[in-house]
Chains A and B, each alone.
Chain A
């Protein structure tokens, strides 16, 4: 391996950084609101830039565009594909986080990847719960702020659980 070669782990992570926002954007298609081609190009360019420089703020822009398009798309229903989009965005985010641990030529070791795979899976537990809750409170016009409070409470609870689960791991690693 030459000094400037990008290791396979970095290549895989950067591919996920590129694909995450794209998959999240294209997931509006099954709901009947497929994005226009120019929007796909814009998101692909932003995600590509984020894959090249995962430590840059450009990755935020790709996520914001995807969120905005989903805000436009979610008008009639709450499809399952929104959960797919959430998973794709989260995977892309975690991949960018891992890729930005060091320079492009630095490979990621297996224990680090496994740790973040566990953490990612733990965090993604919020998605089905939030989806079910959102589907339940959808169509409650008389209390528009109730579902937001409920979901925020659920998020806080999951944060507390994550911290509680994570603390023993840190103690063991010392």
Chain B
């Protein structure tokens, strides 16, 4: 509804005022005029302030991209609003967006401070539709109302928050050019590999004079090369288990998965490693290997647009993993296809580890009409199958760790690094 319309208050004032005057005239009773005199005044003043211009209403968010837990402001722009006295806003309440003040219902007199603003807080990663609202403008004395004007929502991209995560473990198979991971080969790094006799080409500053004097021959300090590594993050987005309470509430499996993926990506990008992303889900989002802050932003953008849902060919998932990469599978491991794909990578000799992102106590939603007892039984059976899959992966040499923030991957990465230095038979 747009354009100026009389309000119910104006109609009430005019009806009561005219009815009271008519009744007074017919009944010859002046006392009735005392009752309706204020209504006559209110109606007349409101009519005098009938607006002549047509305002235009628009709203915009200050930011289109936010990290989880951060907020932005929705501002109203009014043009041609010289005859507007009061502005009321009623914003829609999309899931996982917090609105202030008064949950998006706000109104005030239009003064020098301008129209009222609504603060929008992002409580969960993903693409949120923010800014859908209805705006009503009132003329002086509330005789006429413009609207309510329906304003459509704008997409707000909410990046997953970087969960607290750090790791001091070295990468199992560094296979790059430069980086922070200790390589298996000697090179110009800082990690001591040993002391050996001087060879032609060695740098003079690497001569260890103490050993050279003791042995009578020149000896040099040899170091391990430092290389970057490729880290492939595999995100299982086939289903979201558990209930998400936003950034400060309970976490669903997708919350844990996406936030952990973001944290691991940031950690490795900060160390100079190359990070890639593959999403097993409806959107099949993927980001190739890369490094640097812009690449991290691309990964976080992709994580924010992950679409949860099954894929038609889930039984034959191909991840396109190259040799030398560390594969981190973030999954609740409830889909057999993900377990199969993980086992295949392990058999190929890749360094694979699984981060279990099934929240403790998670239960699936029960469809309407389904027997809750049957659903609970089915869920228990599914959890039993899941434990079998995890046991089999463990027996194959694939560590499975639940996500617990800092240090989650330290132990398993160290074990993988030790194992990577040992000879082994690999299935081709």
Contact = CB atoms under 8 A, between A and B. Distances in A.
Interface of A: 1, 3, 7, 24, 54-57, 59-60, 63-64, 66-68, 70-71, 74-75, 78, 82-83, 85-86, 89-90, 93-94, 96-97, 100-103, 105-109, 111-112, 115, 119, 123-124, 126-127, 130-131, 133-134, 137-138, 144-145, 147-148, 151-152, 154-156, 158-159, 162-163, 166, 170, 173-174
A166 B41 contact: no
B44 interface: yes
Contacts of B117: none
Interface in B1-26: 7-9, 11-13, 15-16, 19-21, 23-25
Contact of A162 (B8, B20, B41, B138): B41
A56 B8 contact: yes
A130 to B, nearest CB: 4
B82 A174 contact: yes
15 contacts: A7-B102, A59-B12, A67-B19, A67-B32, A75-B29, A78-B34, A93-B9, A102-B90, A105-B102, A107-B102, A109-B109, A126-B41, A133-B30, A137-B30, A151-B33
B9 A82 contact: no
B336 to A, nearest CB: 41
- State the main secondary structure of chain A at its contact with B: helix
A148 B38 contact: no
Contact of B109 (A70, A74, A115): A115
Contacts of A57: 8, 11-12
Contacts of A105: 102-103, 105
A166 B24 CA distance: 29
B37 A163 contact: no
B107 A108 contact: yes
B140 interface: yes
Contacts of B30: 78, 133-134, 137-138, 147-148, 151
B93 interface: yes
Nearest to A105: B105
B36 A127 contact: no
B23 A106 contact: no
A93 B108 contact: no
B84 to A, nearest CB: 10
B31 to A, nearest CB: 4
